Structure 1
């Protein structure tokens, strides 16, 4: 069975990306840490069992780096004696899950509205842009605070608020891309052949805009994680018995003087996750831009790896 040439080319492209990531120590470390966080989010609840809710008053405010109560307490315990390691692992699921849904919905809705606003030239485009301007005129965190205080804190409301505050970013980016793409020759050719507006937008223009939206979504993911953590820290995010890393920091803020580890470990997890996301997204943005990719190739050639000429 013969493998198609385009399939071989795609496989070679993916392998080249992996090799370039492996040559960049920061990008490789970011990928490995994010893979660890994702694995914790997927398998954490199954591995940890009841440790996240099981109180152990003998280990109340237990200091880290002690195995007196078992390996699960190596990072210490909180005010009820619950394992901080277990809660960190399980809390990754809620933290990443909320951010993932918020970014996905904001990308889909913002991208759809951006396609309409960029392709149409009438009143509908102006209305969409003015609504986006109204949303952007409010600080995103302040708008989220107002809405959550009015509707009440819950996972659904938190996802909706985070998604709504990020929609204008995807909307304006998509519109700017569509304004340029719709003037290209292949769009004029599709119109001349009698293609409808819906077919032109979703079959010809949307696939070109999608990679840009995915790149922005990867960059924006870290911002949404920080926003969710801030809202949970203020008590307007996810509510007990569910928890996120931000809620764990809020729990430990009253014990910073005598049990700093309760707030330190979830804060460190938030820091490392957002830092890894920023490092990886910046690397991908450089790689995806043909005008900037020479920086990666230059670093590759300096390490003695010959560049592949085509």
Structure 2
């Protein structure tokens, strides 16, 4: 019971310390606040404004932003069919974030496991894994995605698979580099001397030490996947109507930039803020996790009044 209490106190202290570090970096704090609001919109927003996102209103066609005559939902204006852009941004966020999260999770799990095997084993299949990663990396990721989606056809499943495959080499090489260093440590030799199998050593002892690095890479890669998905949707090879994402909203408004700029501006701004916030927060997390860089946050103090 005492051990459980001590562990709870230690966890609460770690969370409190992270909160202190976050408040000392104002840019990271703003990024975390924006991502928190975005997460709440993704989880609960479609339940509130989901029906409005597809509701046609020819009287509100190309309605200018900051006009509250039609209600608060039209504060960002309306598109060419009179649908409120605010509602479509909230619903589109769920699709965009969902596709990016699924692609990053699949690439991290599959790429991480392949990287573990390639780094620990010296058999022929480890070389096959590395050469496969080299082949994928030799093609521009967007070009490869365009070819595959044009051949198989655009759909949610194909989009997730393509995005996961194009980002997998990053996790394979990162996991392999970590394993090459960890397999030479004393605890691996001790486990081998006690008769532990290769699978137990790899997934019970080495994988937990590699996982934090892979999670950090996934947080950084999340923004890249959002941009790739938005680019594919902009080119018409992403989600097809009636479903939509932020990239598809930008594509729908590109023909009206001179007369109704807000149709493409707001989803483009949402993509910009989301990717920028993810990169800022990932940089902050990397600083906190590195003892050689953590002093930057520890040395910050509130200036006296």
Matched with 1:169 is 170
Cα deviation code 1:106-129 (max 9, x no counterpart): 000000000000000121111110
> Structure 1 residue 73: deviation in Å?
0.5
After TM superposition, the score normalised by the length of structure 2 is 0.97
Distance in 2 separating the partners of 1:22 and 1:55: 43
Contact 2:24–2:297 (CA under 8 A) maintained in structure 1: no
Paired with 1:72 and 1:283, the residues of 2 have a C-alpha distance of 34
Unaligned runs of 5+ in 2: none
Query: Which residues of 2 match residues 1-310 of structure 1 at below 5 A?
Result: 2=2, 3-298=4-299, 300-301=300-301, 303=303
- Using the alignment, how far apart are the partners of 1:14 and 1:57 within structure 2? 51
CA RMSD of aligned residues (A): 1.1
Distance 1:62 1:25 in 2: 36
Which shows bigger deviation, 113-122 or 9-18?
9-18
- State which drifts further: 18-27 or 252-261: 18-27
Deviation at 1:303, TM superposition (A): 4.4
Residue by residue over 1:87-119, the C-alpha shift from the partner in whole angstroms, topping out at 9 and shown as x without a partner, is: 001111001000000000000000000000000
SS of residue matched to 2:181 = helix
Gaps of 5+ in 1: 305-310
Aligned equivalents of 1:202, 1:177: Cα separation in 2? 13
Cα distance in 1 for residues equivalent to 2:156 and 2:287: 35
Quote the Cα distance in structure 1 between the aligned partners of 2:149 and 2:142.
10
C-alpha separation in 1, matches of 2:50 and 2:231: 27
Q: Tell me how many residue pairs correspond in the alignment.
A: 303
Per-residue Cα deviation, 1:124-166 (whole angstroms, up to 9, x for no partner): 1111100100000000000000000000001110000000000
State the 1:293 CA deviation.
1.1
